[in-house]
Amino acid sequence: MTTELVEPNATAARDADAPASAATNRIRGFVCRNCGRPEAFGLAYVCSACFGPLEIDYDLASISIDRATIAARGPAIWRYLELLPVDAPPARGLVVGSSPLLQADRLADRLGVDRLLLKDDTRNPTLSFKDRAVAVAAANAPRLGITTLACASTGNLAAATAATAAAIGLPSFVFVPSTVEPGKIRHALAYGATVVPIDGTYDDVNRLCIEVADELGWGFVNVNLRPYYAEGSKTLAFEIAEQLGWRTPDVIVAPIASGALFTKLAKGFRELAAVGLIEERPVRFVGAQAAGCSPVARAWASGGEVEPIRTPDTFVHSLAIGSPADGRYVIEVLDSNEGSVEAVSDDETAQAIRDTARLEGVFVEPAGGVTVAAVSAARRRGVIRDGDEVVALVTGNGLKTPDAFEHGLDVAPATGNRPGLAPVLPPNFSSFERWLQA
Amino acid sequence: MTAIRIPPVLRASTDGAKHVTIEGSTVREVIDRLVAAYPGTAGQLRTPDGELNRFVNVFVNGTDVRHLQALDTPVGDRDEVVLLPAMAGG
């Protein structure tokens, strides 16, 4: 889907006096998350003094944005332009974001919570929330002289990077563990990417990509473009707050792979409060990991450091990061509220995928199943309380991982009383009726 | 001699060298001697109390030393030590 953006906000924000560089009076540059040292904007991602991760340093006091201005803009993530590291909506790219916040009463009953809303990010152009992050990284690519877009992917990022590269006219290379679901590889190939399967875990792929990024200068969205990329996830927080009438929910439940999404949700809410769009109030954050790769859940439970997992053992490939870069920052978010990190078995995940599909009509991939199952776990733990309004982020579409749905199922053929796949029938009513009544 | 691959963010402190070879029988010894040879790397590789900076990952022949014997992991002539920023994100 190559798209020339024509929505009103593009016109509104692409002012004649827009500065040529992303460093504007609302953005000071980079700042090291570890030591606080400022760094100049550019193709950098690591503090030159301490190796800590760099992030965008906004001058929030200088940012003037109000609800009416945002409401007058068209859909997609650029409606929150002032809180993103871009000068103006890019001329080319995918139309990303503005996904619905669905009331999920039947699923709420099943999970035992009073009010549940699903942030349905399965509906982005490549069917996962990764389109948001890639859009922000790619919007900076021309300014940084990037001629090849690339990524290290557990699956979803591959298609998001490949499709975005196609839309802006760049070649793309995506590196994945060779064990990734075949559908996710085909999805990336469809957009014209070069897919490089690596005989190793995601962490092995990631290590290789850091070296490739360093040596070849390609724009790896989640390595050397990471400070921009990570900002894209904040738009989920912005949308949730706006969709709730400019306020936060009681509880947010989100999957944790690297931890970047989780921490950027918290940052998004903080920034909305800082610029006066919402009132600051406590939000309990619940993280969701697969039990077979749960380094952050273990660290949270033990009170210790995030220890890497060498060999993930789960069918939730999109969360199978054994050495999560932002794990320690997830713990920091949790230290400031009364949340939790839940570790969910693959059986619970598969059941949650089926429940979400059959009770709400939303087909999620395993990471979404982990998230929904974590709602139930957090309720049992007492983190989710009576009367709470809970927002759960389902971040990828089940069409990408159809086999996961059947995990643990005894797949018997359908009968008139049991849903499922019926046998092949002749095309006449009497045959159908006989089968239905058998 | 063990080969060490230097990431770009450290090369300003190693006179631009991408690779250096250093004598040492463990990862700790090799890093100690790297820091001694190029004192500018100390602030990036070490904490004030001499431990390895938590934002640096060390790999021996592609394996994270946290899965081996950490800084006590033995190294020899045919081993390659790679220093990289701790940066893993899906």
Task: Judge contact between A323 and B64, C-beta under 8 A.
Answer: yes
Calculate mean pLDDT across residues A222-228.
Answer: 94
Question: What local confidence, expressed as pLDDT, does residue A1 receive?
Answer: 36
Lowest-confidence region among A5-14, A306-315, B4-13, B68-77: A5-14
B12 versus A278: the higher-pLDDT residue is A278
Other CB atoms within 10 A of residue A302 CB = 9
- Are A204 and B62 inside 8 Å of each other by CB? yes
Within an 8 Å CB–CB cutoff, is residue A227 touching chain B? no
The whole-angstrom separation of Cα A306 and Cα A127 is 30
Looking at residue A306, its pLDDT comes to: 92
The alpha-carbon gap from A279 to the nearest alpha carbon of chain B, in Å, equals: 31
Residue A385: its pLDDT value, please? 97
Least confident of A112-116, A204-208, A410-414, B13-17: A410-414
ipTM of the prediction: 0.89
Distance between CA atoms of residues A316 and A313, nearest Å: 9
pLDDT at A407 over 60: yes
Q: What pLDDT shows up at residue A405? A: 80
> Which residues of chain A lie closer than 8 angstroms to B66, CB-CB?
307-308
Whether chain B has a CB inside 8 Å of the CB on A52: the answer is yes
- pLDDT higher for B88 or A240? A240
Q: What are phi and psi of A193, to 5 degrees?
A: -75, 155
| Residue B89 or residue A379, greater confidence | A379
- CB A45 within 8 Å of CB A217: no
Average pLDDT over residues A213-217: 88
Query: How far B25 CA sits from the closest chain A CA (Å)?
Result: 24
Residue of A nearest to B46 (CA): A50
Distance, in angstroms, between A203 CA and closest chain B CA? 7
Q: Which of A34, A153, A210 sits opposite B87 (nearest CB)?
A: A210
Can you give the pLDDT at residue B7? Answer: 87
- First and final C-alpha spacing in chain B: 36
What is the arithmetic mean of pLDDT over A143-168?
Answer: 95
Q: Where are the beta strands (DSSP E) in A156-274?
A: 172-177, 194-198, 219-220, 251-255
Pairing of strands B56-60, B80-85: antiparallel
Percent of chain A clearing pLDDT 70 (strictly above): 95
Average pLDDT over residues A390-406: 91
Query: Considering chain A, what percentage of its residues have pLDDT values greater than 90?
Result: 79
Residue A237 pLDDT > 90: yes
Provide the pLDDT confidence category of residue A100 given band limits of 50, 70 and 90. very high
Region A214-222 average pLDDT: 92
Q: Can you give the pLDDT at residue A12?
A: 36
What are the phi and psi torsion angles at A364 (to 5°)? Answer: -110, 160
Establish if A304 touches chain B: CB-CB under 8 angstroms. no
The pLDDT of residue A82 is above 60: yes
Give the nearest partner residue to B88 out of A46, A48, A203, using CB atoms.
A203
pLDDT for A403: 81
Question: Residue A19: is its pLDDT beyond 90?
Answer: no
Which residues, 6+ apart, have CB-to-CB distance to A58 below 8 Å? A26, A27, A28, A83, A271
Q: What is the pLDDT of residue A325?
A: 85
Above 80 in pLDDT, residue B90?
no
Closest Cβ–Cβ partner in A52, A204, A307 for B55:
A52
Handedness of CA A88, A187, A1, A362 (dihedral sign): negative
Q: pLDDT tens, A37-60?
A: 999 888 889 998 888 899 999 999
* Whole-prediction pTM: 0.91
CB atoms B85 and A210 under 8 Å = yes
For chain A, give the mean pLDDT. Answer: 91
Over residues A366-370, the mean pLDDT reads 97
Closest-CA distance, B58 to chain A, in angstroms, reads 10
Read off the pLDDT of each residue in A133-148 and give the average, rounded to a whole number: 96
Residue A227: per-residue pLDDT = 95
pLDDT (0 to 100) of residue A23: 54
pLDDT digit string, tens, across residues A249-284: 999 999 999 999 999 999 999 999 999 999 999 999
Residues A291-301 pLDDT 10s: 999 999 999 99
A223 touches chain B (CB under 8 A): yes
pLDDT confidence of B85, banded at 50, 70, 90? Answer: confident
Mean pLDDT calculated for residue range A116-128 = 97
For residue A378, give the DSSP letter: H
**Best to test chain B binding among A33, A46, A132, A316 (most B CBs inside 10 Å):** A46
Residue A4: is its pLDDT beyond 60? no
Looking at chain B, which residue has its C-alpha nearest residue A222?
B89
Mean pLDDT of A184-191: 95
Q: Quick one: closest CA in A to B63, which residue?
A: A204
Torsion of CA B72, A202, A57, A267, to 10 degrees: -110
